[in-house]
Structure 1
Amino acid sequence: MTTIFLRSRQLRQAVRLWLPVPAFMLVAMPAHAAVDSSDEARIASCIHDAAAGRPWLEKTLWGLRDQEAGWIGAEVSNTNGSHDLGPLQINTWWVPRIAQLMGRSGPEVRNWLRYDACFNVEAARWIFLAALRDTGDFWKAVGVYHSPTAWRQRRYSLSVAKRMKHRFGDRAFLERQD
């Protein structure tokens, strides 16, 4: 548990010091698998912690998680040769960037993205927030999380919005309270 916390904290500290490249992911279809209830509780805890008390960010991370539908240990192949890893399906395109940011090896980061739910969620948080900073537009950033292609971004954003509404009802889109 301490190791997981340290890795997630290390990623969070490292990204504060790094100016991100434009955030985008290669196209991938969501992976679906049965998720163990204890794993789901762990993912929920990681999402809560990564949001750091910001309800709008917690809802966003849940929308991305529900859309991606990954699981701890997931490695889903894409047609372009990349893979999507872990609960929020972080594309392997990100591995070298995160590894460099943290001063760690690519295989180590890849393993954490697959098997460490909190590290995976923190990486998703970073990708989304970098896209939000780059675009200045919430829904555009949601789309950029998924793809560099405008029409895929729009389709993805609409799907995430539906999942957020399904999970949170109309309160999913209330103005932020923090």
Structure 2
Amino acid sequence: MIPVPTPVHRLCVATAAQHYHEPVWLLYGILATEGTRPGQIVRDANGSYDMGPMGINSLWLPTLARLGITRAQILNSGCENVAVGAWILARKLRGHQMPQKAFAHPRVFWRHVGDYNSATPHWNHLYRQRVAQAARQRYFAPLEQVHGH
């Protein structure tokens, strides 16, 4: 039986952000940048693939399997996908999480955000710009824009 994908709920994002001491707007920025949904796979040029809303790369599967997390969970559970994405981001941000340390060294912080997607400088730079822009547009949008007043 093929599992039915479950959506990402705001509570999942808030819980993951709190657990890993990350700004919730950053997770929303990554979700918007990845632009995918539970159950979706996006093939990468290097032969790997990204899974679900946070774009969890298949290269993480062996590490996650050792932690008891399955491919099906990452692919089909929106909440599990966000939790795993937040865990990966926390590994990249080690020592630079919110609230007090994240912006003490903003260049380092944003480079680590880019590392979530790629350590290659060009792709890292493009990704972190897209995440920052998505966070500004989606999370920090004035209420007038969100509600049309």
Q: One fold, TM greater than 0.5?
A: yes
In angstroms, what is the RMSD of aligned CA positions?
2.6
Say whether 1:141 aligns with 2:102: no
- Between Structure 1 and Structure 2, the one with more helix by share is 1
Query: Which residue of structure 1 aligns with residue 146 of structure 2?
Result: none
TM-superposed CA distance for 1:44, in Å, is: 2.6
1:48-68 deviation per Cα after TM superposition (whole angstroms, max 9, x unaligned): 221128895211100000000
TM-superposed CA distance for 1:95, in Å, is: 0.6
Query: Which residue of structure 2 aligns with residue 6 of structure 1?
Result: none
Query: Which residue of structure 1 aligns with residue 87 of structure 2?
Result: 126
Matches within 5 A, 1:12-23: none
Aligned partners of 1:77, 1:97: CA distance in 2, in Å?
Answer: 20
Helix, strand or coil at the partner of 2:39 = coil
Query: Which residue of structure 2 aligns with residue 91 of structure 1?
Result: 57
CA 1:72–1:164: 2 relative to 1, 3 Å: same
Aligned partners of 1:55, 1:130: CA distance in 2, in Å?
Answer: 11
Aligned partners of 2:48, 2:28: CA distance in 1, in Å?
Answer: 24
Q: 1:61 aligns with which of 24, 27, 42?
A: 27
Gaps of at least 5 residues in structure 2 are 1-5, 97-104, 143-149
Helix, strand or coil at the partner of 1:146 = coil
State the number of aligned residues: 128
One-letter amino acid of the structure 2 residue matched with residue 89 of structure 1: G
- Percent same amino acid at aligned positions? 30
CA 1:129–1:54: 2 relative to 1, 3 Å: closer
Aligned partners of 1:124, 1:69: CA distance in 2, in Å?
Answer: 14
Q: 2:10 aligns with which of 39, 44, 61?
A: 44
